[in-house]
A and B are shown apart, each in its own frame.
Chain A
Amino acid sequence: MTDYTLVLMRRHADREWQLDGDDYDGLTMLDGGSKPSKASLDAAWPEVQAEIAAEKAAAATAAASGRAKLAALGLTDDEINALLGA
């Protein structure tokens, strides 16, 4: 099921809108412009999901890389966790 909130947030960031509930019928554009079609939002959902997954993976990779670099400097896991607030 399409998460219209996330699609609108990422594909229509310049628009003002509200969504009552989870369904497309609850979407109201607050800026006076036309409402994006349900089909266009549904079509964008798989792309948005892929973007989010890629961002999470990139963040995890960056965190692991950062830890490895800190460890290479001689920091213990406890010291790294203390620095990162983990």
Chain B
Amino acid sequence: MATPTTLPSTFVAGNVLTAAQMNDLRGAFRIMQIASTTKTDTFSLSSATFTDVTGFSVSITPAFTTSKVLVLVTMNVCASWQNGNLQARLMRGSTAIAVGDAAGSRTQASNVVAGGNNFTGQTVVISFLDSPATTSSTTYKVQIRGNTGNTTVVNRDLDDSNNAANPRTVSTINVFEVSA
């Protein structure tokens, strides 16, 4: 990959860039654009069906069909049950991406967080380099599921009584268009 290390520290009038320098410049601008969403409110779910986390999506319109999109997700959760887990998956539109291979009846997920402590938060982290192959607006979001009767919360602890021991947190999705 080209790097900007051979570029002159300063350009002056009359300079003509060489092909190598132009390639270096191209390499210096591999991050074409950035989009981000930060969810600051809470979300609670009791469902065994993958469900969108409300207000937790971000859209980006790639400049080139060859571009990659680096997706970084950090989501703070807390799950209520002792013998189960919270499953999360990254979505591009209605398509699950960044999931494991199909294997029988097992759930294809991006990340799993174990339940087991009613009052301790955990973090779902997803990092994925996507190839959307489009120049249309593309939306990335996160879905979660647990079990009926078991509750998952986002950006709060289950014990949310009004005192300083209980946090309110944020969850973020950052997407970066990276030129090929």
Stretch of A11-19, A33-41, A67-75, A78-86 on the interface side: A11-19
B127 within 8 A of A: no
The CA-CA distance from A39 to B31 in the complex, in Å, is 52
The CA-CA distance from A56 to B153 in the complex, in Å, is 20
Question: Are A16 and B42 within 8 A (Cβ)?
Answer: no
Question: Are B149 and A5 within 8 A (Cβ)?
Answer: no
Once A5-B44, A9-B46 are accepted as A-B contacts, the answer to whether A20 and B80 lie under 8 Å apart by CB is no
Q: Quick one: which of A1, A13, A15, A22 contacts B42, CB cutoff 8 A?
A: A22
Once A18-B47, A19-B44, A21-B42 are accepted as A-B contacts, the answer to whether A9 and B160 lie under 8 Å apart by CB is no
Q: Quick one: which of A3, A16, A20, A21 contacts B148, CB cutoff 8 A?
A: A16
B158 within 8 A of A: yes
Chain A residues in 8 Å Cβ range of B160 = 3, 5-6
Chain A residues in 8 Å Cβ range of B49 = 16, 30
> Which B residue sits closest to A12, measured CB to CB?
B46
Interface residues on A, range: 10 to 19
Interface hits, B135-180 → A, CB 8 Å: 148-149, 151, 153, 156, 158-162
Once A6-B158, A8-B151, A13-B149 are accepted as A-B contacts, the answer to whether A19 and B47 lie under 8 Å apart by CB is no
The CA-CA distance from A56 to B36 in the complex, in Å, is 40
B20 within 8 A of A: no
The CA-CA distance from A19 to B48 in the complex, in Å, is 15
Q: Quick one: which of A1, A9, A18 contacts B80, CB cutoff 8 A?
A: A9
B23 within 8 A of A: no
Chain A residues in 8 Å Cβ range of B55 = 20
Chain B residues in 8 Å Cβ range of A17 = 45-47
Chain A residues in 8 Å Cβ range of B46 = 8-9, 13, 15-18
A29 vs chain B, min Cβ distance (A): 10
- Chain B residues in the interface with A (C-beta under 8 A): 41-49, 51, 54-55, 80, 148-149, 151, 153, 156, 158-162
A-B contact pairs, 22 of them (CB 8 A): A1-B162, A5-B44, A5-B160, A14-B148, A16-B46, A16-B48, A16-B49, A16-B148, A17-B45, A17-B47, A18-B46, A18-B51, A18-B54, A19-B42, A19-B44, A19-B45, A20-B41, A21-B41, A21-B43, A22-B41, A22-B42, A30-B47
